Amino acid sequence: MRYAIFGDVHANLDALNAVLDDISSADVDGYLCLGDIVGYGAEPNECIARIREIGAVTVAGNHDHAAVGKTTIEYFNSEAREAVLWTRETISDENKAYLEGLPLVRKMGDALTLVHSTLYAPDRFSYILNPFDAEMCFQRLETPVCFVGHSHVALIFHKADAIEPAFVTDMQFGESETAIVNVGSVGQPRDLDPRAAYGLYDTESRRVEIRRVEYPVDFAIRKILDVGLPQANAIRLRLGR
């Protein structure tokens, strides 16, 4: 099976459409979404609709849970919190029910696992930033590969003898190797590259590829400002941080 894996869309429809357009030329068997469909951006309903339309297998992110009151927003910064409150007012009841129903972890048979944050405490929404965090996930991993989001930075933790973190765009895993792959963010990249990020994974060859896609950033910025969301949520899109 060949999958397109994406996450952290953050209500950025322009970025999502550009990514789906790019995926259409990649000949995939299915779409996997790592959560944070909403939050920060101006088009939460439209992004949920697109993701449901393509039938993506999806897990919940902290912003999805925050938008339906399933997790606290105490640790959110003020711009994120303002966007959560706006999103709560903006999303339809049907979309709220959809977000409420998303699981935190999903296993796709024996092939791979999806989680927004970590496998050791998926409802606490911690980050996997170093080999120590990664090891705690590897201990709970039951498939060769786990895909994660949350940090908005593409990064692969590859485990052969030791755990090696790698900022690479392409990697093939051997039979006895496991990996935790962060595919970066569609709607709010934070690695100083404003282009949308997503991943492609082939379960047979065990090859993962991280792709970057240009999208009309100015459109997304204009929409954020037009609905009255914080300016910081808009400006950071151009900076990729």
* Region binding Zn ion by CB under 5 A among candidate stretches 7-15, 81-89, 123-131, 156-164: 7-15
- Which one, 8 or 43, has the nearer CB to Zn ion? 8
Comparing CB distances to Zn ion, the nearer of 40 and 98 is 40
The stretch near Zn ion (CB under 5 A) out of 34-42, 80-88, 104-112, 158-166 is: 34-42
Instruction: Report the residue number, 22 or 36, with the smaller CB distance to Zn ion.
Output: 36
8 lies in the site for Zn ion, by CB under 5 A = yes
Q: Does 22 bind Zn ion (CB under 5 A)?
A: no
Give the residue with the Cβ less far from Zn ion, 19 or 163: 19
Of the candidates 110, 101, 155, 105, the residue with the CA atom closest to the CA atom of residue 130: 155
Query: Between 44-53 and 13-23, two packed helices, what is the crossing angle to 10 degrees?
Result: 20
Binding residue for Zn ion (CB under 5 A) from 22, 36, 133, 191?
36
- For Zn ion, give the closer residue by CB, 8 or 14: 8
For Zn ion, which stretch binds (CB under 5 A), given 35-43, 84-92, 176-184, 232-240?
Answer: 35-43
- Length of the chain in terms of residues written: 241
Q: What span, in angstroms and rounded, lies between the C-alpha atoms of 199 and 210?
A: 4
- Residue 87: CB minimum distance to Zn ion, A: 13
> What does the H/E/C string look like for 205-222?
CCEEEEEEECCCHHHHHH
Query: CB of 158 within 8 A of CB of 164?
Result: yes
Rounded least distance, CB 65 to Zn ion, Å: 11
| Minimum distance, C-beta of residue 62 to Zn ion, in the bound complex (Å) | 7
Q: Which of residues 141-170 bind Zn ion (CB under 5 A)?
A: none
On whether the CB atoms of residues 5 and 57 are closer than 8 A, the answer is no
How many C-beta atoms surround the C-beta of residue 41 within 10 A?
A: 31
In contact, 149 and 158? CB cutoff 8 Å = no
Q: Does 191 bind Zn ion (CB under 5 A)?
A: no
CA dist 215 and 5 (Å) reads 18
Binding site for Zn ion (CB under 5 A): 8, 36
